Structure 1
Amino acid sequence: MSLKSENSKKPILLLVDGHSLAFRSFYAFSKGIDGGLTTKEGFPTSVTYGFLKSLLDNCKNISPEGVCITFDTEKPTFRHELDPNYKANRDVAPDVFFQDIEQLEIILEESLNLPIFKSPGYEADDLLGTIANDASSKGWCVNILSGDRDLFQLVDDQKDIYVLYMGGGPYAKSGNPTLMNENGVKEKLGVAPERVVDLKALTGDSSDNIPGIKGVGPKTAINLLKENDTLDGIYQALDKIQQNNDKKYKGFIKGSVIEKLRNDKHNAFLSRDLAKINTEVPLILSNGYELKNINQELLSESLKKLELSTLLRQIDIFNSTFSKGGFDKNNVAKEEEKAPKVAGNNELENSENKIPKINVTVVNDFELLDKLIQRLEKTNEIVSLDTETNSLNPIDAELVGIGLCLGEENDDLFYIPLGHQTKNETPNQLSIEDVFSKLRTWIEDPKKEKALQNSKFDRQIFFNHGLDLKGVTFDTLLADYLLNNQEKHGLSEISFRLFGFKPPSFKETVGKNKDFSFVDIDEASIYCGYDVFLTFKIVKIFKERFSTEKNDLIKLFEEIELPLEPVLSQMEINGITIDIPYLDKLSKELKSTLEDIESKVYELAEETFNLSSPKQLGEILFEKLNLDKKKSRKTKTGWSTDAVVLERLVDEHEIIQHLIKHRTLSKLLSTYIDALPNLINEKTGRVHTNFNQAATATGRLSSSNPNLQNIPVRTEFSRRIRKAFLPEKNWKLLSADYSQIELRILAHLANEEILINAFHKNDDIHSLTARLIFEKEEISSDERRVGKTINFGVIYGMGIKKFARSTGVSTPEAKEFLIKYKERYSKIFKFLELQERLALSKGYVKTIFGRKREFKFDKNGLGRLIGKDPYEIDLQSARRAGMEAQSLRAAANAPIQGSSADIIKIAMVQLNKKFIEMNVPAKMLLQVHDELLFEVEPDSLEITTKLVKKTMEDCVKLNVPLLVDIGIGDNWMETK
């Protein structure tokens, strides 16, 4: 059977069972020379080599356009709660396996740019099932690479979900896997995929320590299922035999088996629960599955370091195999996959099973350019626009070509080649200078309407050439983000949803060329032509969608998201200065501190060991020091020593506080202090982050490459990291931070008078809450901390146990405090509960400004409540619905967090406008949740401070006042 699905209409997503492939790779070499592959210094590499080689081979065979990898975590899962003996028979892998796999994960994530999914409480199989269903619903053909037969239950020909089965168990040698469809599963196991769980319920699984029914083997189980269909059907037949001795049913179940079924009924249903894959794990799946560009330099360095010369020689193959299928201008903007041959909208299709043909005029002489400009000047219609470049980084990208679409006729598509390269002859193209001397007026005319897909990227490209892009009245990426916030927002994904086909992929177009500048001009014109043609078509559809919605979404689009785009573009261009000598000094200091902590840990443990090894640490804590084992759990890798366990143990032994500190500081060192200097742009000398405007479900901005929004502030060293962020020479940094904005929004939304009055009086809200729940006037600092914890915890659905753990109070005290809080602030809980009801009833909740966050529930679970009267829903029953209860907590929080995001966006738009109008010598640099960071010319500090504070506090009117704290300093740390 071919490795490719017979359904070639869809792009292929390869899901990799990480631990399955890792164990197979490890054992493939562990019985060889010296027990496996190592570097000259003895670092294990069997897993990394075998995994990468197998992954590369399989990707070359099936040409996936997306690859995701799942791994187990060391934490126990819901299955361990069902049966403590689950997988208890498995041997713990040696330490070298975990050292190896840690390095592998770094390469997969940082070098190959592949997403890795893990989720505490769930196994990799559950994640595979969840992702497979989600991807299938979004138009992917899913292939799951694994040696685990449990995954056969996911196979579904109708959904295009298949398993690439690596048979033979973890010790088997590598070979081409077998593509298992429904017929393949039946041939292999004797039952259909939907009966695999029932089969396991009867036979058990010794590898996972699933008991099954003693004495029932595969042959008997298959026969039972053939006659009775399911496990429930078998026991229904058994009940009828017991009730009336019916000969008909006796014929289906032989006497010797009847006794076994009766004796082991509990184990049968337990085994079914253990074997069933959970396909509803609460994962964030909004960023798409498409391949992204690899970091070839980092991959090369890693392979050299690990002395994997065989893989190093295939670096170009890695690059071509794992280069993304789309020119992703904003890491979410263009998810271009292989164009599937699938019939689309009749309006767009020229013939069955083909994407529409387009004719593109290549503008390569002045006569054609002048005719194009004449048409641009005459038209009063919107024009779609796109740029092609040789890099995804807008700071460094060079312009290769420009595409335009003026309508839907054959002569409405144009491509202007500007930066193409050929080996033997001069490309037939005009110079950038000549083109922009004629095109500048139209590009900078605010009255000439333009539509783009992710205009932020194109705006920066034009900026690099001295042009100020104006007149952008539509961005299909941002529009789709508001209209379809649970979908992927790439151009090809939108096209597939609307028209049933995807345009030619970037990967196919570029092929083996170095970058887009080496693509043939005619081929590039078609590629870019589809981009602008589809953008033009999508604009019409989305405008109609906006008109059918209430005014909320169109106002969000036109008054917040669209005007925010140029603000973010300029912030990315601005970047921020990093103090490298300071970070070098801080790195040395932190490393010395870590060494001191390690020495103290070894002294307390009375031996040296690998602090990074959970297994070794678990043995020290629970075997040697004999700490309370009830506060941890024995997993397949040994005793759990995660952050939650260490927090539970903090009062039991002095060693724990040092271990927690060591972990915290080690992460700071690797993630920020040693990493930031490598992220400085050589051209500008600054770090330029990417603000993702269409990435989060809540409406918040996110930051990437690097992520400057997650720099912690709780420890001394984490605060000192901010000292490395500097303003322009002789300028100052100004920080403006909304104070308690989410609590203020909650008070407004819930119309809670106690909080509203307190905010108007500028009272200490946490002391107020503490006085209410402790029922006294004089409050200590510890009691105020309890008030603060509960104030913020309620917003995020914090329960009794977490509240008790966070504050150090007993569980009964925590329960009492929460009851009192609910009594004092009853309107808050009514509001939060209403949001949960609305999510169940309508499938979405809204912010103050109308931004929707949608929620999809299992149609066989909470999804059955869609359309119900929200006030008739039994909320307590719904909250017990396992994983979906997490979605309910998110629904309660979404209007608060989303409104906060909207407010700071509104403030950013207003501030930018005022800075321009008043010619203020200040630059907006960063947005970090509720904080804005500026660099300001010193003589303008007073006027800028007043302007920033007043604008941010007055940008919206609520029932409570907004308050902004201002800080000024020579570095970011000094502003706090």
Structure 2
Amino acid sequence: MKKLFLLDAMALIYRAHFAFAKTPRITSTGLNTSAVFGFTNTLLELLKKENPTHLGVAFDTPKPTFRHVRYELYKAQRQEQPEDITTAIPYVKRLCEALCIPVLQLDGYEADDVIGTLAKKASNSFEVYMMTPDKDYGQLVEEHIKLYKPAFLGKDVEIMGPKEVCDRWGISDVHQVVDILGLMGDAVDNIPGIPGVGEKTAVKLINEYGSVENLIANADQLKGKLGENVRNFAEQGLLSKELAVIEQNVPIDFVETELELCEPNREMLSALLDELEFRTLRRRLLGDEPGVAAPVAPKAAKPKPAGQMDLFGGGAVEVAVVVEVAEETETGGKRTIHDTLHDYRLVDTPELRRSLAHFLNLQEIICFDTETTDVSAVEADLLGLAFSYRKGEGFYVPVPENREQAQAIVEEFRMVFENESIEKIAQNIKYDLTVLSHYGIEVKGKLYDTMLAHYLIEPEKRHNMDILAETYLHYTPVSIEELIGKKGKTQGNMRDADLEKVKEYSAEDADITFQLHRRLNPILAQNDKLVRLFEDVEMPLARVLSEVELEGVRLDVDFLRDLSAKLDNDLRETQQKAWELAGTEFNISSPKQLGEILFEKLQLDPKAKKTKTGQYMTGEEVLVTLESKHEIVRKILDFREFLKLKSTYVDALPTLVSPRTGRLHTSFNQAVTATGRLSSNNPNLQNIPIRTERGREIRRAFIPRDEEHVILSADYSQIELRIMAAFSGDASMMEAFNRGEDVHKATASKVFNVPIDQVTSDMRRKAKTVNFGIIYGVSAFGLSQQVEVSRTEAKELIDNYFREFPAVKRYMDDSILRARDLGYAETVLGRRRYLPNINSANITDRGYAERNAINAPIQGSAADIMKVAMVKVQEFMRNEKLKSRMILTVHDELVFDAHRSEIDYLKERVNDLMIHALPLSVKMDTGMGVGANWLEAH
């Protein structure tokens, strides 16, 4: 029988996003690709294991549904969709298009309604699988329709038919799922249910009365408060059941051929995977395999007794024999908490806490972890503290919800955290530093972050704890879902969970991180440069970034509200002008309608490319090539820009202001980009536009904290070009920089062979493009598009450049040769970028690696310099006890809330520290600006 899989896109996207919440995947441009990456892996795993013959992916739409019409408060309390998920959705749709998988959606209905309808229509001739983690789909299950719950965080795939659904809920008929949902309600969707009725009570009542309607009819039989609630909220219970029912008569046709799997669009897929920087997935999907195997864990030592220790005052406690978790189980799989001996203890009395704190305070090195209520460190409250000081042992200290009581417990461990003689280990330590700062704790002493250590060892790999444990310890950590249920940590329900289970989960985190330190540190120690980079730059920077994140920045929400209105007007005017130019009204956001206007009505390109589904391609790269052919193309590009500015920044930024502080707190990612550059998310400040007038206006919303402060911006000037000059040793380029000349004008003078006083603005513009393009290995074709000249003229520009700056050409050639010998490129501080394809026979892969061999040392050294500068500047401000604060870093720029009384001194010292962060043969320079907002200062 044919197999049809219907995927609930939004449920899978959210699930993927939160799976990477603590260690998100961020591209070199600052784009958070966690949700797209997780969704793609889920999809590929499905295709590989289940071999479906037909497939469709269902999405919700932004429009209100019939449920909103029926009950206007439906989903009213749902939190605003995270910015990164909003950004991810179009990429997931593009992925589906590239893989020739139809996107299913219909205004007025939710994805589960679309799936429910198609599942019922297809069940006569298909085995239908509804792929979703959502429990509500259980109501649809029948003989040929199954609920397919994907694998997640160590838990295997679960396929549920009628028997499994009934067993899960403890009911006799799958149709009773909606009765249970109606009684218990759903806080996420704001379905009220009947007060006082949870899942257990709902199951009991439905087993006894069969349905909500029958329960209400017999409400007089119920006693006490329950009977009173059922009688008083009967209509609410019926409404809740109605809202929980998945519609099975959506006006959507089941067309078998449209859901049949077909060949992917390789060109579209290749471009998308490159944009998302999914290098491994690209090789896997497009027929190429990675060139370097994962690092092999060191050989395990034999099991040995861990000995005894006197921890809680006099009585020797026997410690279990600890088996090296790097060994495989007898069946060859990875070890888990269930088959590895360990000793994890709950420390939940004053006596035990005092003894543990005293014992830890005597150690030379400990590992710690914070369990919290939120993935945002700024918003999080403590649930507990976990510690480990020896392999196989861990301790969990629960912290109560009451703030005063919580603070008292944290105080008991202050002497441990602030003991400078104890080295502290953690995974993603910046998060823990930030959380503890809410409780007045400054973690002192030497710090060691296993995530950052691995980032320097394997910059291109993933660095989350689960991956590291599997790679280096051959161990799979337990998931919180496995221990305390599906809602898990992301729902903030750990406080109500069984403490014994939370203890296992939390203490294991500390234990595994401690063991990872033992494995990673010897590898890191093999390279003295990396050790210095880790200890002198990355670890001090983690503390600096924590402090900067905590400061946050004040946002002018009223200005953004006004700007949003202006953008609404821009959108209307641009749309109207586009309609006039087209001679008809059409949906600019619809690729199908837009393609018909551009390529059928206006005939802009007789050879216009189409997707596999027959739809015209209308991406930005296509439109840019058509801009000179018709005025409408510019209007479409403007419309898209205004729409992105409004949704991604202007409307989104106010929703990210912390209710706790009233300020905007971005999260800086220190271990994401392979080049060493920082990225940020929630919000992604690295991508705030600067090239267009409306884009620049967004920076006007970033304002000082009060009237006594102004915004100070300190921005490195042409740092990558200066590094190129220093590395290449080109005399004329170095001289131009060291004399403070306009380097682009000097370049133009040489390339165009004219005196410097005869260089025109157009010559300078082209020379500037060449200067920066050379760093990134620009081709004649690429340059011709950037400066709008013929390919022949572009080639001549590049040839002239290399003739006038031969040392630069030698540097580029030598960089490639060195990378071929070593297999990596290296920055001024020894940060490595591994290039496994540098000797590849594939010209495309080799060319990409060669460009990285040239660029990585330059861009990575710029990152090194910026990080050193941040550490030195923050140290100076801390030592001087200034009132001013560092509040942002974006690319090569530092932003400060500068106290008016300190402006001159701050400018002088920050400039000095930045230009002398790392000594090079070329003089560094900064641009300093002060203003009432970031735009004025920048």
TM-score (norm 1): 0.65
Aligned equivalents of 2:855 and 2:368: distance in 1? 38
Match of 2:377 among 389, 394, 399: 394
User: 2:433 — aligned with what?
Assistant: 459
Aligned equivalents of 1:41 and 1:524: distance in 2? 38
Matched, 1:756 2:734: yes
Deviates more, 1:523-532 or 1:785-794: 523-532
Deviation at 1:940, TM superposition (A): 0.9
Matched, 1:14 2:42: yes
Aligned equivalents of 2:325 and 2:679: distance in 1? 38
Name the CA shift for 1:101/1:553 in 2 (closer, same or farther; >3 Å): farther
Name the CA shift for 1:565/1:103 in 2 (closer, same or farther; >3 Å): farther
Matched, 1:938 2:900: yes
Aligned equivalents of 1:547 and 1:434: distance in 2? 39
User: 2:450 — aligned with what?
Assistant: 476
Partners of 1:27 and 1:171 within 8 A in 2: no
Match of 2:762 among 743, 763, 782: 782
Aligned equivalents of 2:96 and 2:57: distance in 1? 18
User: 1:806 — aligned with what?
Assistant: 786
Deviation at 1:577, TM superposition (A): 1.3
Per the alignment, in what secondary structure is the counterpart of residue 397 of structure 1? Answer: coil
Query: Within 5 A, what are the aligned runs for 1:232-251?
Result: none
Query: Within 5 A, what are the aligned runs for 1:307-346?
Result: 345=324
Name the CA shift for 1:930/1:827 in 2 (closer, same or farther; >3 Å): same
Match of 2:408 among 434, 437, 440: 434
Deviation at 1:578, TM superposition (A): 1.2
User: 2:474 — aligned with what?
Assistant: 500
Aligned equivalents of 1:28 and 1:769: distance in 2? 52
Deviation at 1:836, TM superposition (A): 3.0
Matched, 1:893 2:855: yes
User: 1:921 — aligned with what?
Assistant: 883
Aligned equivalents of 1:688 and 1:287: distance in 2? 32
* Aligned residue identity for 2:855: N
- Residues 911-946 of structure 1 deviation map (CA, whole Å, 9 limit, x = unaligned): 010001111111111111111111111111111111
Per the alignment, in what secondary structure is the counterpart of residue 777 of structure 2? Answer: coil
Aligned equivalents of 2:608 and 2:863: distance in 1? 38
User: 2:800 — aligned with what?
Assistant: 820
Query: Within 5 A, what are the aligned runs for 1:815-894?
Result: 815-857=795-837, 881-894=843-856
Aligned equivalents of 2:643 and 2:53: distance in 1? 26
Aligned equivalents of 2:541 and 2:816: distance in 1? 30
Partners of 1:789 and 1:806 within 8 A in 2: yes
Deviation at 1:527, TM superposition (A): 1.4
- Residues 62-94 of structure 1 deviation map (CA, whole Å, 9 limit, x = unaligned): xxxxx99965579999xxxxxxxxx9xxxx99x
- Residues 843-896 of structure 1 deviation map (CA, whole Å, 9 limit, x = unaligned): 211111100111233xxxx656xxxxxxxxxxxxx6x61244223322321111
User: 1:733 — aligned with what?
Assistant: 711
User: Which ranges in structure 1 are unaligned for 5 or more consecutive residues?
Assistant: 5-10, 30-36, 44-66, 78-86, 115-135, 146-168, 178-204, 211-272, 290-342, 422-428, 865-877
Match of 1:769 among 744, 747, 764: 747
Query: Within 5 A, what are the aligned runs for 1:391-790?
Result: 391-408=374-391, 413-419=394-400, 431-512=405-486, 514=491, 515-549=493-527, 551-630=528-607, 636-730=613-707, 731-777=709-755, 778-790=758-770
* Aligned residue identity for 1:387: T
Deviates more, 1:756-765 or 1:885-894: 885-894
User: 2:293 — aligned with what?
Assistant: none
Deviation at 1:593, TM superposition (A): 1.7
User: 2:209 — aligned with what?
Assistant: none
Partners of 2:328 and 2:474 within 8 A in 1: no
Per the alignment, in what secondary structure is the counterpart of residue 833 of structure 1? Answer: helix
Name the CA shift for 1:344/1:439 in 2 (closer, same or farther; >3 Å): closer
Matched, 1:382 2:359: no
- Residues 167-224 of structure 1 deviation map (CA, whole Å, 9 limit, x = unaligned): xx9944999x9xxxxxxxxxxxxxxxxxxxxxxxxxxx9x7699xxxxxxxxxxxxxx
User: 1:953 — aligned with what?
Assistant: 915
Aligned equivalents of 2:537 and 2:751: distance in 1? 40
Per the alignment, in what secondary structure is the counterpart of residue 378 of structure 1? Answer: coil
Partners of 1:400 and 1:517 within 8 A in 2: yes
Aligned equivalents of 2:933 and 2:551: distance in 1? 16
Aligned equivalents of 1:538 and 1:209: distance in 2? 40
Aligned equivalents of 2:675 and 2:156: distance in 1? 28
Aligned equivalents of 1:900 and 1:101: distance in 2? 50
Partners of 1:420 and 1:519 within 8 A in 2: no
- Residues 530-565 of structure 1 deviation map (CA, whole Å, 9 limit, x = unaligned): 11112222222222112222x110011001000000
User: 2:872 — aligned with what?
Assistant: 910
TM-score (norm 2): 0.67
Partners of 2:4 and 2:52 within 8 A in 1: no
Name the CA shift for 1:819/1:140 in 2 (closer, same or farther; >3 Å): farther
Partners of 1:16 and 1:68 within 8 A in 2: no
Aligned equivalents of 1:929 and 1:28: distance in 2? 35
Aligned equivalents of 2:650 and 2:731: distance in 1? 46
* Aligned residue identity for 1:629: P
Name the CA shift for 1:399/1:785 in 2 (closer, same or farther; >3 Å): same
Aligned equivalents of 2:565 and 2:610: distance in 1? 36
Aligned equivalents of 1:41 and 1:140: distance in 2? 35
Matched, 1:359 2:336: no
Aligned equivalents of 2:676 and 2:667: distance in 1? 16
Aligned equivalents of 1:703 and 1:287: distance in 2? 23
Partners of 2:586 and 2:593 within 8 A in 1: yes
Aligned equivalents of 1:531 and 1:930: distance in 2? 35
- Residues 17-76 of structure 1 deviation map (CA, whole Å, 9 limit, x = unaligned): 9999999548999xxxxxxx9956999xxxxxxxxxxxxxxxxxxxxxxx9996557999
Per the alignment, in what secondary structure is the counterpart of residue 639 of structure 1? Answer: coil
Per the alignment, in what secondary structure is the counterpart of residue 882 of structure 1? Answer: helix
Deviation at 1:498, TM superposition (A): 1.2
Partners of 2:64 and 2:107 within 8 A in 1: no
Per the alignment, in what secondary structure is the counterpart of residue 651 of structure 1? Answer: helix
CA RMSD of aligned residues (A): 4.5
Deviation at 1:956, TM superposition (A): 0.9
User: 1:334 — aligned with what?
Assistant: none
User: 1:324 — aligned with what?
Assistant: none
Name the CA shift for 1:351/1:16 in 2 (closer, same or farther; >3 Å): closer
Partners of 1:22 and 1:101 within 8 A in 2: no
Per the alignment, in what secondary structure is the counterpart of residue 691 of structure 1? Answer: strand
User: 1:962 — aligned with what?
Assistant: 924
Q: How many residues end up aligned between the 2 structures? A: 702
Query: Within 5 A, what are the aligned runs for 1:79-478?
Result: 171-172=255-256, 284-285=277-278, 345=324, 354-355=335-336, 356-379=340-363, 381-408=364-391, 413-419=394-400, 431-478=405-452
Name the CA shift for 1:883/1:378 in 2 (closer, same or farther; >3 Å): closer
Deviation at 1:661, TM superposition (A): 1.6
Aligned equivalents of 2:57 and 2:503: distance in 1? 48
Aligned equivalents of 1:697 and 1:387: distance in 2? 27
Partners of 2:154 and 2:476 within 8 A in 1: no
Partners of 2:592 and 2:616 within 8 A in 1: yes
Aligned equivalents of 1:882 and 1:286: distance in 2? 13
Per the alignment, in what secondary structure is the counterpart of residue 763 of structure 1? Answer: coil
Deviation at 1:473, TM superposition (A): 2.4
Per the alignment, in what secondary structure is the counterpart of residue 370 of structure 1? Answer: helix
